Amino acid sequence: MTNKMWGGRFKSGPDAIMQEINASIGFDKRLYAQDIAGSKAHAAMLAQQGIISKSDAKEITRGLDQVQAEIEGGQFTFSTALEDIHMNVEQRLKDIIGEPAGRLHTARSRNDQIATDFRLYIRDAVEHLDGQLKGLQLALAEKAESHAKTIMPGFTHLQVAQPITFGHHCLAYVEMLARDRSRLADARVRMNESPLGAAALAGTSFPIDRTMTARALGFDRPMRNSLDAVADRDFVLELLSAAAICATHLSRLAEEIVIWSTTQFRFVKLSDKFTTGSSIMPQKRNADAAELVRAKPGRILGALTSLLVVMKGLPLTYSKDMQEDKEPAFDAIDNLSLAIAAMAGMVRDLVPNAEVMRLAAASGFSTATDLADWLVRTLKMPFREAHHVAGALVALAEKQGCDLPELKLEDMQKIEKRITRDVYKVLTVEASVASRTSFGGTAPANVARQARRWLKLLK
């Protein structure tokens, strides 16, 4: 049999394979709430404009409320033969209220309908992700405040570079996540225009009020061009782009947690909540949650790439290719949301090993830059010369098998005779971090102040 929704042109039904490849109800059914909200706004506008009667609009709203209740209550039967969420809802609406259901689609196409539904969904996703990211920022800022004085090594090339504080490290990710939230907020501003009323592609001859439906659905305004309204998927691409960057940030932190929790580093300890064991090695505690967060960017970047490839060669306006926009986006949103939740749990749960981190920070001649800075400040030495002298002292310490604070003064003076005993005051890791008072630096006072600032903003 032909499809009742569009079968007038066709004498027979689709092949089973055609039906399988064409149907999207298996994944777009999650848009039911947005679809029903859009239909209610459209029906109210049609009645306000005298295009349908107020009694029909009332019946349509009543029926849509019942459809939504059935879906949310698990009593709704989705049909692949009806292709998508729009037709499934409309058919059930017809079963409930009869003839008035057929008037709902006046001055509307599935093209502007799905564009509207998807924008509403992506807008909701942006708000959900933003709330989650705020929660993760809060967890990191709280950890930063608690560990503003906890010394750890800062790394370049994964080698000990200079002493920093654990709180400072946490705040770096707070800043990254702030940019992620800013990108999402920026994308939300651009996506908050309504495609509804663009119809198939050219608009409609009915005297509709697109501003009314836009406002009813929380959009700032209707989109200005009907072709663009149904053809655009920039709003999804922007979300996926922001999601890919955000997932990359989460992955970097996840990688650090994986490294820090190894027996070789022992910088932090994760509890049983976010670790797993081994089926054969009883001693193992694997940071599997962090490893899985580390893997998520592959899926999320893949979703972005997938949609870019789908859209790159499409002429205006709608092509069925665009049905491939939803599954990757849904998967990316779901996985980013899960990754943020897992990371927030790990951050709250992890316990830094302060003594181990301090010992690591004191290794690898990490105060060599402090030594060079002392030579510049005290001996008025040009920095390049000071860098050379400090490097020679590092080589001497390495030869003697000790660290810089353990070098004898007389040995230092063989390399630079003007060095005095005061130099030892800058060679401890505590002195090093305390001296980094420049704006954005790792001095504990700076870190505590920035942590309190973020906590005030976030709370």
Annotated catalytic residue 278: yes
| Distances in whole angstroms, Cα of residue 138 to Cα of each of 183, 228, 347, 453 | 18, 39, 10, 11
**What is the per-residue burial (b if ≥16 Cβ within 10 Å, else e) of 108-136?**
bbbbbbbbbbbbbbbbebbeebbebbbbb
Peptide bond just before 428 cis, omega within 30 deg = no
* 74 vs 367: CA distance, rounded Å: 64
Which residue among 157, 205, 279, 438 is the active-site one?
Answer: 157
Which residue among 182, 278, 319, 363 is the active-site one?
Answer: 278
126 within 8 A of 180, measured Cβ to Cβ: no
- Residue 427's nearest CA partner among 381, 395, 398, 394 is 394
Show the tokens assigned to 218.
């929380």
- Residue 238's nearest CA partner among 317, 134, 308, 331 is 308
**Region for residue 197 given its phi and psi (left: phi exceeds 0; alpha: psi -120 to 50; beta: otherwise):** left
Annotated catalytic residue 157: yes
* 295 vs 407: CA distance, rounded Å: 45
Which residues are known to be catalytic? Answer: 157, 278
